[in-house]
Amino acid sequence: MAELVVILGAGESGNGAAILAKKQGYDVWVSDYGNIKDTYKKELLSWEIPFEEQGHDEAKILQAGLVVKSPGIPEKAPVVRKIREKGIRVISEIEWAYRFINNSKIVAITGSNGKSTTTTLTHNVFVKAGLDAALVGNIGISFAKRVALQPADWYIIEVSSFQLDDIETFRPDIAVLLNITPDHLDRYNYNYDEYIQAKFNIFKNQEAADYAVINVDDPVIQAKLTETKIHSQLLTITMNEKLFNQKNGALFKNDNIQINVNDENFQQSINDLMIKGKHNYYNTMAAGISAKAAGIRNEFLRESFSTFNGLDHRLEYVATVGGVEFINDSKGTNLNSVWYALESMTKDVVLILGGQDKGNDYNEIMDLVKEKVKAIVCLGINNDLIHQAFDNVVTDIVDTRSAKDAVKTAYFLAREGDVVLLSPGCASFDLFKNFEDRGEQFKIAVREL
């Protein structure tokens, strides 16, 4: 009898893991503590995969030889504690998928901010170069589902710290760490060091032939590097010429991106890039140096960088109404994202901020708020922390409970030539289904003005 593989969670990640287990001939059981979405339920039924919802059959789960845990389920969940107590192995979906990729290669990208943009841009370059590359992970179809249904030569994966928590052998050929700022600390016992270590897990199984792409301008990464042995080849990205590795590094200087990998050189002016802003120059360097490490020719980097115009809900221009520009950065769910968004603004800002707070320290954006923000519109159920931080800094702070009210209020507070920026710095689940829902409602409200 085949080993029982239990999948905890029946979302994109869990279903992908379940389908892969079924295809590989395992006895598989899917268990979700909440309601399973109809689309995922139909998928499980079509694959004849048994499942349960609205609770866990712990007796059945504890018979598992292996548990694949979806990234959204915390360690403190009672069922996870019982699985651990019994000594059953728990792995993440990316670890499970990795075991079945055969000779395919991986570019894995993590960081507190910029993952989605960098992953999408990297995939764009690989596709332009004619490679069989799949865009997977946090950004769309799960890694496991793609391995099960449509294997590719290259997997370009956006990975979160939660996915990296439960890896054993997962080893990217090219691993990218963009930055580390406090995020999801509620999942790490409010211990920043645990979160930092989770991000660094991306390198832990790498070998000498692999590449580690690291942003050496990030002080948290720099500090961790002094105590961490990286076994792969280091490719650094920086805006500080003193830190530039001329053999294996990328540098942004004088409005120019320069990339060198193993004596292969690439240069492009930022005037030829579609995406703008300091954070996007880091993202572009990371994507470019990863592509060069994979042996992709310069012409494909140049073509991709000059045509790629970013992602929905990430500093997305919506419209200009009465001389007021509206920008949707709903994907900005932590304060570092807000910092980058504000840093790229050149006009006075009416900032729409708030949602489900994840332990924010608003001092992180205080200087930029003082410099650029004329008014704050709070969009959340509990806005107390925002008021505590900014009531004595910003003259106008108004509470709202819907995207429509937030947009109307922001428009009222703005003047011709201003920007209304939705960059919430918080999760969306207090008022919206997810950040996409928040961004879409914002765009609808702007168009109704």
Quote the pLDDT of residue 1: 44
pLDDT digits (tens, 9 = 90+) for 184-194: 676 776 778 88
pTM: 0.81
Contact (Cβ atoms closer than 8 angstroms) between residue 263 and residue 247: yes
- Cβ neighbors of 202 (< 8 A, separation 6 or more) are 108, 110, 159, 164, 172, 175, 176, 177
Q: CA–CA separation, 328 vs 446, rounded Å?
A: 10
* Tokens (6 digits) for 146: 């793609």
pLDDT digits (tens, 9 = 90+) for 304-320: 999 998 878 888 889 99
Residue 128: which of 102, 154, 96 has the closest Cα? 154
Q: How far is CA 19 from the centre of its chain?
A: 24
Contact (Cβ atoms closer than 8 angstroms) between residue 407 and residue 446: yes
- Cβ neighbors of 122 (< 8 A, separation 6 or more) are 107, 109, 156, 176, 286, 287, 290, 291
Q: pLDDT-based confidence at 445, cuts 50/70/90?
A: very high
Q: CA–CA separation, 161 vs 369, rounded Å?
A: 29
**What amino acid occupies position 47?**
W
**Torsion on CA atoms 283, 289, 290, 295, rounded to nearest 10:** 150
Q: How far is CA 113 from the centre of its chain?
A: 6
Quote the pLDDT of residue 184: 67
**Span of 152-156, 161-165, 192-196, 212-216 with lowest mean pLDDT:** 192-196
**Is 316-447 a domain of CATH 3.90.190.20?**
yes
pLDDT digits (tens, 9 = 90+) for 132-145: 999 999 888 999 99
DSSP state of 365: G
**For the chain, how far is it from start to end, CA to CA, in angstroms?**
63
The position carrying tokens 């005037």 is: 271
pLDDT digits (tens, 9 = 90+) for 274-300: 887 788 899 999 999 999 999 999 999
Q: CA–CA separation, 259 vs 332, rounded Å?
A: 28
What ranges make up the beta strands (E) of 314-423? 316-321, 324-328, 349-353, 373-379, 396-400, 419-422
**What amino acid occupies position 401?**
R
Q: CA–CA separation, 170 vs 51, rounded Å?
A: 27
Give the other-Cβ count within 10 Å of 85's Cβ. Answer: 9
Give the other-Cβ count within 10 Å of 367's Cβ. Answer: 11
Quote the pLDDT of residue 185: 72
Q: CA–CA separation, 69 vs 85, rounded Å?
A: 15
DSSP alpha helices (H): ranges in 47-77? 58-61
Helices 115-128 and 278-293 cross at an angle (nearest 10°) of: 40
* Phi, psi for residue 171 in degrees, rounded to 5: -140, 100
Query: Where do the domains of the chain lie?
Result: 4-87, 100-305, 316-447
Mean pLDDT in residue range 1-14: 89
Assigned fold of 100-305: UDP-N-acetylmuramoyl-L-alanine:D-glutamate ligase (3.40.1190)
pLDDT digits (tens, 9 = 90+) for 52-87: 999 999 999 999 999 999 988 988 899 999 999 999
Contact (Cβ atoms closer than 8 angstroms) between residue 155 and residue 143: yes
* Tokens (6 digits) for 410: 């922001």
Residue 194: which of 226, 216, 161, 227 has the closest Cα? 161
Say which CATH class 4-87 falls into: alpha beta
